[in-house]
A and B are shown apart, each in its own frame.
Chain A
Amino acid sequence: MMEAQSYRVRVGLATCGIAAGADKTYDQLVPLLAEHGIVPERTGCLGMCFSEPLVEVITPTGDSYLYGGVTADKAAAIVEQHIVGGKPVEELLALASSAATENDHFMSKQHRVLLEHVGVIDPESIDSYLAFNGYKALIKAVNEMTQQEVIKEVQKSGLRGRGGAGFPTGMKWNFTYQAKGDKKYVVCNADEGDPGAFMDRSILEGNPHALIEGMTIAAYAVGADEGYIYVRAEYPLAIKRLRIAIKEANNHGYLGNKILGTNFNFNLKIKEGAGAFVCGEETALLASIEGLRGIPRPRPPFPATSGLWGKPTLLNNVETYANVPAIFRLGAAEYSKVGTESSKGTKVFALTGKIKKTGLAEVPMGITMREIIYDIGGGIQDDKEFKAVQIGGPSGGCLPAEQLDLSVDYDSLTAAGAMMGSGGLVVMDETTCMVDLAKFFLTFTQSESCGKCTPCREGTKRMLEILERITEGKGQPGDIETLEELGSAIRDSALCGLGQTAPNPVLSTLRYFRHEYEEHINEGKCRAGVCSNLISYFIIKDKCVGCTVCAKNCPVNAISGERKQPHEIDQSICIKCGVCYEKCKFDAIILK
C-alpha cells in the first residue's frame, strides 16, 4: 500500500475518549500532521479507558506505538519527537509492538475476535470495514448457503445470547425460521442499560458494520425483510455512527432491496429508546418499538412466534449479532475452539470500579476471574484488598475473594449465584459496604420497575425499606430472614426478567457477606465506613496540630478548638459528611 511509505496516526474517538479530551487532541494533530502530509485517522475505542486519550502511531515499517494520556498539549511532542525525529516518546508509551510496557498484560491475556477491529478501523467509513474482510460473511451466507445451512452453522458454533441468560442463539434463529408468518422482523436490543456495562456502546461506536452484517445474515436465515435497532437515547454518538453505517451499507447493496443482486430484501431502521431500563426485557422492548409504554407481557407466546405487531420476531443483543460475521469468517468449527464445553467463543467485559486498569477486555470463556482482575486489570487501585466483584449488573450478583478462581462461563457463574448478564464487572475493595451496594442496586430496580406485577412493584419496595432501615442503623432481628423470604418469592413469581432477577444482588451479598448484614443489625457497625449513621469521625489529639483547616471547612461548625491546639468534633452536631477527613493533611481524623 502507498500509505505504508509514511507514518499513520490513529486517534481513539469513542465517547470515553472524547470525554477525556481526544477530540481536542485530534483537532490539534490535524494541522501539525498536515505539514508532513499525514491525515490522522479516527477510530473507536481501544478498550484502554484508563489511559485515554489514546493515539496510535504506526511506523513505515509497520511497528505500532500506542500513546496514552495524550491530551492536546502533548500532541506536538509526539509529532516532533516520533514522526519527525523518529524516536518514540517513552514517557507517554502505553503499548508498543516491539517493546515491553507495563500494560502488556492488558492485551496479552485477551483474545480479540469481536473487538479485533474496534480501535483499528474508522467506524464512519464502510471502506475501512471492507478492507478487513467486511461483509465477506454476508456474501458467503447469501450466495453460497441456504437458510437452513446458515442456521446450522450458528448452531454448530455454540453461540449463546450475550445479553443475559445465555439462550442458544442458533435455536432461537431456528424457532423464528420455523414460525409461520407472511412478515418477519429481526430486532437488535441495543438498550444497554445495566449500570457498569458499556461493551455494546463500544461496538456500536467502534465497529457498527459488524452489527449490521450480523443482523443481515440473521434476516436472511429467518426470512425477515425488516429490522430495528433499539438504541438507548443516552448513546448519541453510537446513534450517529449507526445512521452513517446504515446509509453506507444501503448504498453499497449490503442492505435494502435486492441485496447482492439476489431477491433478498432487508430494511433496517433505528429506534431511539426513551429512558426505561425495563425496555431491555424483550417483550417490553417490542412494546416500546410499537409506540406503547414499555411494559412486559407474559411469555409464551415468545417473540419468535408472536413478536413485533404480532409477527415472528428474532431478538438478540448487539454483542450476539456482532459475533455472527466472525462465525462465518472463521467457520463454526474454528470459532468454537475457543471457550468451554458449554460456553463457546469470547465475551467482552467492562472492567470498572476500584480496579487499576479500567476498560474493555475480550477474553475466552473459561478464563478465571482472577486472571481478568489481576492480570488484565492490573489489580486493585492503590493496592488495597480485593473484596468483591459485581458481575451482571442489577440482575447479577457479587462474588467474594474465595470465588476468584471460578471459571467465567454461563453455568459456573449461575451456580455461584451471579450471572453473565451483559458483562459489566465492577470491582470493589474494603471501602465498599456490601449492604449499601445491595441497597444501591435495589433502589435502581425498584425505581425502574414498571409496576405491572405485584411481586416486583410491592416486593422490591418492601425489600428496599428493610435495606434502608439496616443501613440507617435501625435494623431489627429477623430482617435478614424477611429479606431472604421476600427475595425468593419475588424471584419465583415476578412476571419478567427484571423482577425475577431484582433480588439477586441482595441474595448473593447475603450468601457471601451475611456477616456484614449481621454487624449492621446487631452491632451497629459498618466496617467499610460507608453508612453514615453507623460511623463517627474523631480527632486524634496527638496528631492534630491545630491548623484549623477542618474547622474552616466544616459545613455545620461542629469542630471547635484554639489555633495550634488540638481540635474536637461535637458528635451531636456532626452530619458525617467527611469533609474534615478529606481535608486533614496530618491524618489526625479517623473513622470509627
Chain B
Amino acid sequence: MKATHQCHAADPFDYAPVDEILERYQGQKGATIPVLQAIQEVYGYLPRQAMEYAAKQLRIPFSRIYGVATFYAQFHLTPRGENIIRVCQGTACHVRGAAKIVDALKEQLGIEVGETTEDLKFTLESVACIGACGLAPVIMINNDTFGRLTPEKIKEILKNY
C-alpha cells in the first residue's frame, strides 16, 4: 500500500485552504494576485507548496506565480511574526524624524528592518507611505495606526502586543 499513501504521509501540508480559495476565485479573470493575497492571509506567508499546488490547479506555470509573488512588496516567502510592524518612510515622516523611530524599534526588538524576532512575535518592515502624513511620524502595527510618535513612545506601544 502503498507508495502513494506514503507520499501523502510525507507531505503533511494542509492544502484544504488553498482548495477553498481556488474554488472562490474559480472562473474569475486575473485572479492570480487575489489568490496569492488570500493564501497569505491564511498561512501568514506564501509557502512554496501552496504556490506550486495553486499553479498546478490553475494550469499556469509555477514560474508565473513565483514571478508575481516576488514582484510585489506585499508578498512574503518566509514565515512572518504574529504582529507586523510597518514603519512609514514617506516624505512627511522622513522630514519629521522617521529614521529615529526605526532605530528605536530596531533597538527594542533586536532585529533589522525586514527581519522577524526569534519568538515569531514581531516582524519589522518599512512601507513607502501609509497616507497619514498629518500625524507623521507614523507606524502601523497590524491594522492599527500610531501617529505623532517619538522614540520614547515606542516602548509603551510595544507593551500592548
Question: Across the interface, which residues of A come within 8 angstroms of B90, CB to CB?
Answer: 195-196
A393 and B91 contact, CB distance less than 8 A: yes
> Contact string, A265-304, partner B, CB cutoff 8 A, digits 1/0?
0000001111111000000000011111111000000000
Q: Which residues of A contact B77 (CB under 8 A)?
A: none
Chain B residue with the shortest CB-CB distance to A196: B91
Are A428 and B95 in contact (CB-based, < 8 A)? yes
Collect the chain B residues with CB atoms within 8 Å of residue A15's CB: 130-132, 145
Q: Are B91 and A424 in contact (CB under 8 A)?
A: yes
Complex Cα gap A19–B93 (Å) = 15
**B68: Cβ under 8 A from any A Cβ:** yes
Bound form: Cα–Cα A294–B135 in Å: 30
Q: Chain A nearest CB: distance from B91 CB in Å?
A: 4
Asked if residues B127 and A234 are in contact (CB atoms below 8 Å), the reply is: yes
Q: Is the CB of A236 within 8 A of B134?
A: no
Q: How far is the CB of A284 from chain B (nearest CB, A)?
A: 10
**B68 contacts which chain A residues (CB < 8 A)?**
291-293
Is the Cβ of B91 less than 8 Å from the Cβ of A426? yes
Using a CB-CB cutoff of 8 Å, which residues 46-75 of chain B contact chain A? Answer: 64, 67-68, 71-75
Q: For A292, list chain B residues within 8 Å (CB).
A: 32, 64, 68
Check A195 against B74 for contact (C-beta < 8 Å). no
> Are A440 and B94 in contact (CB-based, < 8 A)?
yes
Given contacts A289-B30, A290-B29, A309-B29, contact A274 B74 (CB under 8 A): yes
Report the bound CA distance from A40 to B150 in whole Å: 32
Interchain nearest-CB distance for B151 vs A (Å): 9
**Cα–Cα distance between A70 and B1 once the two chains are bound (Å):** 70
- A124 in contact (CB, < 8 A): no
Contact of B72 among A275, A424, A441 (CB under 8 A): A275
Q: Which of A76-84, A347-355, A561-569 contacts B (4 or more CB under 8 A)?
A: A347-355
Asked if A177 is an interface residue, CB under 8 A from chain B, the answer is no
Cβ contact within 8 Å between A290 and B30 = yes
| Contact B147–A196 (Cβ < 8 Å) | no
**Complex interface: chain A residues within 8 A of B89 (CB):** 195, 444
B138: chain A residues within 8 A (beta carbon)? 19
- Tell me the complex Cα distance, A426–B129, Å: 13
B143 within 8 A of A: yes
| Cα of A379 to Cα of B109 in the assembled complex, Å | 38
* Contacting residues, chain B, for A193 (C-beta < 8 A): 128-129
Mark contacts of A347-366 with chain B using CB atoms, 8 A cut-off: 1 yes-contact digit, 0 otherwise. 00010111000111000000
Chain A residues within an 8 Å CB radius of B96: 353-354
Chain A residues positioned under 8 Å from B148 (CB to CB): 20
Separation of A361 and B27 alpha carbons in the complex (Å): 44
Assuming the A-B contacts A428-B95, A440-B94, are A198 and B131 also in contact, with contact meaning beta carbons closer than 8 angstroms in the complex? yes
Q: For A235, A353, A393, which residue has the most chain B Cβ atoms within 10 angstroms? A: A353
The verdict on B120 contacting chain A, using a C-beta distance below 8 Å, is no
C-alpha gap A20/B136 in the complex (Å)? 11
A352 x B145 contact (CB < 8 A): no
- How far is the CB of B114 from the nearest CB of chain A, in Å? 12
A426 to B36, CA, bound (A): 35
Residue of A271, A291, A292, A294 with most partner-chain B CB within 10 A? A291
Interface assignment of B158: CB less than 8 Å from any CB of chain A: no
Find chain B residues with CB under 8 A from A448 CB: 128
**A352-B133 in contact given A293-B68, A426-B92, A444-B128 (Cβ < 8 Å):** yes
Q: How many residues of B contact A (CB 8 A)?
A: 41
Is B31 positioned at the interface, with any CB of A under 8 Å from its CB? Answer: yes
Q: How far is the CA of A205 from the CA of B114 in the complex (A)?
A: 29
- Determine the chain A residues whose CB is within 8 A of the CB of B31 once the complex forms: 291
Query: For residue B133, which residues in chain A have a CB less than 8 angstroms away from its CB?
Result: 49, 196-198, 350, 352, 358, 424, 426
* B22-33 to A contact mask, C-beta < 8 Å, 1/0: 000000011111
Give chain B interface residues in 132-159, CB to chain A under 8 Å: 132-136, 138, 143-148
Given A236-B143, A274-B75, CB of A16 within 8 Å of CB of B128: no
* Given known contacts A293-B67, A432-B95, A16 and B132 CB-to-CB distance under 8 angstroms: yes
Cα A291 to Cα B127 with chains together (Å): 22
Does A50 reach chain B (CB closer than 8 Å)? Answer: yes
Q: How far is the CB of A257 from chain B (nearest CB, A)?
A: 18
> When the two chains form their complex, are residues A192 and B95 in contact, meaning their CB atoms are under 8 A apart?
no
B117, CB-defined interface residue at 8 Å? no
B147–A20 touching, CB < 8 Å: yes
A408 to B122, CA, bound (A): 44
Q: How far is the CA of A309 from the CA of B89 in the complex (A)?
A: 34
Q: How would residues 227 to 241 of chain A score, 1 for a CB under 8 Å from any chain B CB and 0 otherwise? A: 000000111100000
Q: B83 interface residue, CB < 8 Å from A?
A: no
**Which A residues touch B74, using CB under 8 A?**
233, 273-275
CB of B37 within 8 A of CB of A274, answer yes
Residue of A276, A352, A354, A359 with most partner-chain B CB within 10 A: A352
Contact A291 B30 (CB under 8 A): yes
Contact with A along B72-112 (1 / 0, CB 8 A): 11110000000000000111111110000000000000000
- B30 near A16: Cβ-Cβ < 8 Å: no
Whether A288 contacts B33 by the Cβ 8 Å rule is: yes
The answer to whether A472 has its CB under 8 Å from any CB of chain B is no
Asked if A194 is at the interface (CB within 8 A of a chain B CB), the reply is yes
The reply on A176 being an interface residue by CB < 8 A is no
* Cα separation A359 to B147 with both chains bound (whole Å): 14
In the bound complex, CA of A517 to CA of B92 (Å) = 22
Give Cα A538–Cα B41 distance, bound, in whole angstroms: 51
Is the pair B131, A201 in contact by a Cβ cutoff of 8 Å? yes
- B33: chain A residues at CB < 8 Å are 271-272, 274, 288, 291
A404 contacts B by Cβ under 8 Å:
no
Residues of A within 8 A of B34 (CB): 271-272
Does A353 contact B95, Cβ atoms closer than 8 Å? Answer: yes
Q: A384 CA to B112 CA in the complex, in Å?
A: 34
- The winner among B94, B127, B146 for most chain A CB atoms within 10 A is B94
- Interface flag for A52 (CB, 8 Å): yes
Roughly how many angstroms separate A294 CA and B143 CA in the complex, as a whole number? 25
0/1 per residue, A444-480, Cβ < 8 Å to B? 1000101000000000000000000000000000000
Greatest chain B CB density within 10 A among A19, A49, A50, A295 is at: A19
Name the 4 nearest CB pairs between A and B, nearest first. Answer: A49-B134, A291-B32, A195-B90, A275-B73
A/B interface sample: 12 pairs, CB < 8 A:
A16-B147, A198-B131, A271-B33, A273-B74, A275-B128, A276-B71, A290-B29, A353-B95, A353-B136, A393-B91, A426-B92, A448-B128
Chain B contacts to A: CB under 8 angstroms = 29-34, 36-37, 64, 67-68, 71-75, 89-96, 127-136, 138, 143-148
Extra A-B contacts (20), CB below 8 Å, given A196-B91, A444-B128: A15-B130, A15-B145, A16-B134, A16-B147, A20-B147, A50-B134, A192-B131, A234-B130, A272-B37, A274-B72, A275-B127, A291-B29, A309-B30, A352-B133, A352-B134, A353-B92, A358-B133, A358-B134, A424-B133, A437-B95
